[in-house]
Amino acid sequence: MKQFFKNIYKFWKKVYDSIQYHKQQHTLKEKLYVVIFESDTWSGKLFDIVLIGFIVASIALIILDSMHLFSSGWETFLRVLEWIITLFFTIEYILRVYCVPDKKKYIFSFYGIIDLLSTLPTYLGIFFTSANYLLLIRTFRLIRVFRVFRLFSFLSEGNLILQSLKESRKKIFVFFSFICLLALVIGTIMYVLEKDEPGTGFDNIPNSIYWTIVTMTTVGYGDITPTTSLGRFISACVMLIGYTIIAIPTGIVSVNIAKNVKGKTCKNCGRPQHDNDKSALYCKYCGKELDDNQYK
């Protein structure tokens, strides 16, 4: 009951704050910045949702276009829709550049370049008619989808995964270097063994390396397969090697996830102990004794 009133209070507090904010003597530039770049206010959240709507629509357009489902009658409708989306993105980009304090930093940032690239293809389409190059540029618009992740940021689950991957980064990079060197050696050996068999696909070393990675990762398309006895024996060895080393990234990430899962929280300093085996007796940050009732 108490919780219920608290929530009602919180809700109206937010509405009130939002109204107060717009009443204050902010310049248009400042107001726009809050709406476009932040998502704490109601108007900021609304803008984010509209933006994601347009991103989803532009992706849907690219997908539908690739399926050749529509007769020429629909063609005009799709083209008009494309122009609407492009104009929205153009206006958004201009506003972003206008209201951001540090213009240079934004324009040359990752999202700044993506935002610019996602407006260009339709305009370029007037001058160039080669559809293929155009599509390539249009796919840049897809990367905008990662803006959606901003909405995930409040999820502690996403942070746990990202944190665990981040900490595993160096180990996984060393692991991949090793995999690539191994794929190079095995790929060359298989090329030597199988290159004279017609129709196996081991016709040059890059293809052989591609086959090695397909096999070691246990994907196994079957577009390239060995046919000689020795080739098949080596394949079986490669599979068993791949089967074992699949364990390494799993082990690395498991250990990091286990480490990041929170355990007791210290009453003295308030920090979680990241130790889910419940064997810690003292807070590792401030040295005070941990209470047994602090289990989460």
Nearer to its own copies by Cβ, of 8 and 155: the residue is 155
3-state SS record for the chain: CHHHHHHHHHHHHHHHHHHHHHHCCCCHHHHHHHHHHCCCCHHHHHHHHHHHHHHHHHHHHHHHHHHCCCCHHHHHHHHHHHHHHHHHHHHHHHHHHHHCCCHHHHHCCHHHHHHHHCCHHHHHHHHCCCHHHHHHHHHHHHHHHHHHHHHHCCCHHHHHHHHHHHHHHHHHHHHHHHHHHHHHHHHHHHHHHHCCCCCCCCCCHHHHHHHHHHHHCCCCCCCCCCCCHHHHHHHHHHHHHHHHHCHHHHHHHHHHHHHHCCCCECCCCCCECCCCCCCCCECCCCCCECCHHHCC
Minimum separation from the CB atom of position 120 to its own copies (A): 16
Nearer to its own copies by Cβ, of 76 and 229: the residue is 229
Minimum separation from the CB atom of position 93 to its own copies (A): 20
Question: What type of residue is 211?
Answer: W
CB contact at 8 A, 106 and 112: yes
Minimum separation from the CB atom of position 41 to its own copies (A): 25
Minimum separation from the CB atom of position 54 to its own copies (A): 16
Nearer to its own copies by Cβ, of 119 and 207: the residue is 207
Nearer to its own copies by Cβ, of 41 and 163: the residue is 163
Minimum separation from the CB atom of position 70 to its own copies (A): 12
Nearer to its own copies by Cβ, of 29 and 251: the residue is 251
Nearest 5°: CA angle at 285, between 279 and 288? 70
Nearer to its own copies by Cβ, of 94 and 145: the residue is 145
Nearer to its own copies by Cβ, of 95 and 239: the residue is 239
CB contact at 8 A, 244 and 175: no
- Rounded distance, CA 121 to CA 85, Å? 12
- Rounded distance, CA 39 to CA 22, Å? 15
Minimum separation from the CB atom of position 96 to its own copies (A): 22
Minimum separation from the CB atom of position 30 to its own copies (A): 32
Nearer to its own copies by Cβ, of 97 and 184: the residue is 184
Minimum separation from the CB atom of position 103 to its own copies (A): 28
